[in-house]
Amino acid sequence: MAKILVIEDEAPIRANLERLLRAEGYTVVTAENGVKGVHAAAEHAPDLVLCDVLMPEMDGYGVLAALRQSAATAGVPFIFLTASADHADRRLALAQGADDYITKPFHLQDVLDAIKRKLSNTG
């Protein structure tokens, strides 16, 4: 099954996503901030990244830029999970190379559907 990197600074959300994705059969790697997320992506070569936008040390846009600049991670599908439902933020995220943008609070099925869509497009 695919390996998913979850980059989320809120521990309860990160743990919940990890548990639910593992229950769906995914291998899950987590990171609690953007800097650690970039390192985890380089170390673990995920098949997809779920990333919060507002985080300490490096925000989601910084993570996305760093991953897109690396040959090893440039093509990895990237989905933002964010509390911002602002349409301009969504457009900015997609313009900067995100593959999808899911707002919190989210339904697990929406996240799973987005993951399946993105993985089927790359595989």
How far is 108 from 86, CA to CA, in rounded Å?
Answer: 21
Which CATH number is 41's domain given?
3.40.50.2300
Q: What pLDDT was estimated at residue 9?
A: 95
Q: Which tens digit of pLDDT belongs to each residue from 74-102?
A: 999 999 998 877 778 888 888 888 999 99
What is the pLDDT at residue 66?
97
Q: What is the pLDDT at residue 80?
A: 95
pTM attached to this predicted model? 0.94
Structural domain for 69, as ranges: 3-122
- Per-residue pLDDT at 67: 97
Q: Residue 49: which pLDDT band, with cuts at 50, 70 and 90?
A: very high
- The total of structural domains in the chain comes to 1
- Distance between CA atoms of 6 and 60, rounded to whole angstroms? 11
- Which tens digit of pLDDT belongs to each residue from 8-44? 999 999 999 999 999 999 999 999 999 999 999 999 9
Average pLDDT over residues 46-52: 97
Give the pLDDT band (50/70/90) at residue 122: low
Q: Give CA separation, 7 vs 15, 38, 87, 88, 123, in Å.
A: 11, 9, 22, 22, 22
